[in-house]
A and B are shown apart, each in its own frame.
Chain A
Amino acid sequence: MKPQMNIVEPRRKSEIFLILYSLVFLFLFANAFAQTGKVSRNENKIPAEKSILVDAKINISMCVSEGKVKVNGWERNEIRAFVSEGSRVGFEVRKKNEQTKTPLWVEVVGFETANNKNSGAEECLSGKEIELDVPRNSTVDIKGSASETTINSVSRARVKYISGDIFLNNIAQGIEASTFEGDVTVENSSGAMNLTTTTGNIVAFNVNPKEIGDIFKSRTSSGAITLQQLEYGQTEANSNSGSIRFTGAVQNGGQYNFGTLNGSITLSIPQNSSGKLDATFGYGAFDSELPLKNVVKPNTSKTQSLTAMLGSGDSTLNLKTFSGAIRIKNSNRR
């Protein structure tokens, strides 16, 4: 019996070791696999926060997959990023200032850059709240999808979303914002504007050009466009089935092109407004509270239209609707 035991015991030992090694290997493999997939997640719901010193005129790009985004301009030459209940956060420097060696272009990513280089971690930030404090002179470029995005007090903003509302306030040198499902609201800003939404509304309030030649463009498919206190030389608003409302002064020499197929166009302008009016209202109606001069209505077409003069005709007003109404109201009466 004794020699038999000596033969069996080492075999059992080796089998046990083999099983243990296999288990350990499996555990490590599974853990590594889980790390690869979830490396950007903040498992303990501890907010992720990072900051980096940057150039004053920094370009910041970012991708967002979900969450409420807030970008706020501040006086420091520093970016602070904060994500709650979501991904981690990191900075990838794309370009540096040759002289000061400070970053000129930073990409804010959803993983810790020091630990996760080439790990395949998700680049897009996600979380309940994503907050960025950035230098005032920065250009912010965000794409992705978020529930709501607010950008405040930066130099330029470019936002391209699949869905989500966009609020832009106090943007100094221009905005390019588009969302396929959501509203776009711009306030107290200046520079060239290009606002687009497919199924949402567009609201612009107190928006001015920064330089001569800056254009304001807005387009929605099924939403309404409301413009108030705009001072652009060229203003364009187009909607497929929504209405367009413009309230404010008409700029001398300004060109206004408003068009919609199924909606109405309402201009609420001062009594002393001056412009050449070219209104096409198809199967709709036309009404003006302001006195029109030199009214010409072609009788040869079923498509209704008219040309007329407001005051001395210093601006150009091209208004087109297929089946809606065009109304020109006197804003001094209110």
Chain B
Amino acid sequence: MNDKCFDIGTIQAFLDGELAADVLEGVSHHVASCDDCAVFLAEAEEESAIAFSALDQEFNTLVPTQRLWTKINDSIQKEEKTFWQTVAAFFSNQTTVAFAGMLIVFSIFTAMINLESSDNAVDVTKNIPSDQSLAVPTVDLGIPVLPIKQDSPLAQNNKKTDIEKSALIASNKTDYRIIKTTFVKKEISPPRIVNSPKAKGQVSGPAPSENVPGEDSYIRTIATLKKTVDNQKDEVLKSSARFIFERDLAVSDDAIKKMKAQVRTNPNDEASKQILRASYQNKIDLLSSVADKTELMASLK
């Protein structure tokens, strides 16, 4: 080794091909004439070979190129879109979303109004035993109600229009009627029912209510309380108390149902009337207890 020998950095750079052309030539000439540097270069070359062989796998690993990514993306885009993707794409537009939201709110609002109006149409057939008749109270407009049997043609023709039903009512004077109260309001329009002498004879006065005296008051009170309690019972009653409450309510309802049937069968059955009243009162007390509890809890907050 002499003063002209190159250091390891230059040798390594020579092997890596990183030297400038003039230096590269100088190194080549020197290595050709200097045994020490030749050996040094050979060792360095050997080390590099070992290192490259060890890292061969890493160097040969396929790295996704931009072109590859583009291909992948193209393939994905070419795939058929799912239903939900289509929906998502549809709703990605803010204006569309706003319009859809408004439409949904409007629909819910309309549905609620419709439901409410249909709730007001009380189906009186629900509470009537199959083998019994029921006198329906007169409507607000003073038109009396005709009795119609359950198995009459009217009952069989529920799908008919209101006017058709009205006509049937006029022709079925002896039948008992079971209809919705909303229907009664509509039937005022056909004049032939009102003006018919036969119909007049049939419907000369309001049908007497078969309810036990005071029953209407019980029913109204229960309806009012139930509305209040239904909104509050989830908050006020724990699960165990809720279970007991529902069970007791079912007991009352069962007694009311059975005693009501008894009273309908025999309106002079005083024993059944007494139990019916007691059952109504129990139900009212039960519902009141929840309302009272709510009130007390609110006063303590």
Contacts of A72 in B (CB 8 A): none
Question: 1/0 contact trace for A133-155 toward B, CB 8 Å?
Answer: 00000000001110000000000
**Distance from B219 Cβ to chain A, minimum over Cβ atoms (Å):** 18
A303 to B278, CA, bound (A): 14
Contact (A221, B248) CB under 8 Å given A180-B289, A198-B289, A240-B282: yes
Q: How many residues of B contact A (CB 8 A)?
A: 32
Which one of A162, A221, A241, A298 has the greatest number of beta carbons of chain B within 10 Å? A221
| Chain A residues, CB < 8 A from B279 | 261, 322
Asked if residues A124 and B278 are in contact (CB atoms below 8 Å), the reply is no
Which of B247, B268, B271, B296 lies in contact with A162, CB distance below 8 A? B296
Q: Which residues of B contact A315 (CB under 8 A)?
A: none
Q: How far is the CA of A323 from the CA of B250 in the complex (A)?
A: 14
A143/B275 in contact, CB under 8 A: no
CA of A303 to CA of B273, assembled, Å:
10
- Whether B248 pairs with A241 at a CB distance below 8 angstroms is yes
Nearest Cβ distance between residue B282 and chain A, in whole angstroms? 5
Q: Say whether B251 contacts A241, CB under 8 Å.
A: yes
Contacts of B262 in A (CB 8 A): 301-303
- The answer to whether A261 touches B278 (Cβ under 8 A) is yes
Cα distance A198–B282 when bound, in Å?
A: 11
Which residues does chain A contribute within 8 Å of B274, judged by CB atoms?
280, 320
User: For window 231-267 of chain B, which residues contact chain A by CB distance below 8 Å?
Assistant: 241, 244-245, 247-248, 251-252, 255, 258-259, 262, 266
Mask for A159-185, Cβ within 8 A of B = 1, else 0? Answer: 010100000000000000010110000
Tell whether A189 is near chain B: CB-to-CB under 8 Å. Answer: no
B269 within 8 A of A: yes
Residue B272 is within 8 A (CB to CB) of chain A in the complex: yes
Indicate if the CB atoms of B255 and A221 lie closer than 8 Å.
no
Q: How far is the CA of A154 from the CA of B258 in the complex (A)?
A: 47
* Chain B neighbourhood of A221, CB < 8 A: 244-245, 248, 282, 285-286, 289
Task: Indicate whether A162 sits within 8 Å of B266 (C-beta atoms), given known contacts A222-B248, A303-B272.
Answer: no
The residue that B296 contacts in the complex, of A124, A143, A241, A261, with Cβ under 8 A, is: A143
Q: How far apart are the CA atoms of A262 and B279 in the complex, in Å?
A: 11
Is A40 at the interface (CB under 8 A from chain B)? no
Q: How does the 8 Å CB contact mask read for A54-73 relative to B, with 1 for contact and 0 for none?
A: 00000000010100000000
B89 at the interface (CB under 8 A from A): no
User: Which residues A226-285 have CB closer than 8 A to chain B?
Assistant: 238, 240-241, 259, 261-262, 280, 282-283
How many chain-A residues does the 8 Å CB contact rule pick out? 36
Q: How far is the CB of B93 from chain A (nearest CB, A)?
A: 48
Residue of B nearest to A263 (CB): B251
- Chain A residues contacting B275 (CB-CB under 8 Å) are 280, 282, 303, 320, 322
Q: Which of A65, A259, A301 contacts B300 (CB 8 A)?
A: A65
Inter-subunit contact B296/A300 (CB<8 Å): no
Q: Is A41 an interface residue (CB 8 A)?
A: no
Residues in B with CB closer than 8 Å to A222 are 244, 247-248
A199 interface residue, CB < 8 Å from B? yes
B200 contacts the other chain (CB 8 A): no
CB proximity of A163 to chain B, nearest CB, Å: 9
Give the residue of A143, A180, A303 whose beta carbon is less than 8 angstroms from that of B269: A303
**Distance of A121 from chain B, by nearest CB (Å):** 15
Max chain A CB contacts within 10 Å: which of B247, B281, B289? B289
On whether A301 and B266 interact (CB within 8 A), knowing A162-B296, A241-B251, A280-B275, the answer reads yes
Using known A-B contacts A261-B282, A303-B271, determine if residue A162 contacts B297 with beta carbons closer than 8 Å. yes
Q: Mark A40-84, 1 if CB is under 8 A from B, else 0.
A: 000000000000000000000001010000000000000000000
From A181, A196, A280, A323, contact of B271 by CB (8 A): A280
Chain B residues near A145 (CB-CB < 8 A):
300
The yes or no answer to B293 lying at the interface (CB within 8 A) is: yes
Give chain A residues whose Cβ lies under 8 Å from the Cβ of B266. 300-301
Check A190 for interface membership: any CB of B closer than 8 A.
Answer: no
B293 to chain A: which residues have CB within 8 Å? 162, 180, 198
Q: A residues 279-334 with Cβ under 8 Å of B?
A: 280, 282-283, 298, 300-305, 320, 322-323
A interface footprint on B38-82 (CB within 8 Å = 1, 0 otherwise): 000000000000000000000000000000000000000000000
A65: chain B residues at CB < 8 Å are 300
* Given pairs A65-B300, A304-B271, 6 additional interface contacts (CB within 8 A): A221-B245, A222-B248, A261-B282, A280-B274, A282-B275, A283-B258
Can you list the 7 inter-chain pairs with the closest CB atoms, starting with the nearest? Answer: A305-B271, A301-B269, A303-B272, A303-B271, A322-B255, A198-B289, A240-B248
Q: List 22 A-B contacts (CB under 8 A).
A: A143-B300, A162-B296, A162-B300, A178-B292, A219-B285, A221-B282, A222-B247, A222-B248, A240-B252, A240-B285, A241-B251, A259-B278, A261-B255, A298-B271, A301-B269, A301-B271, A303-B259, A303-B262, A322-B255, A322-B258, A322-B279, A323-B255
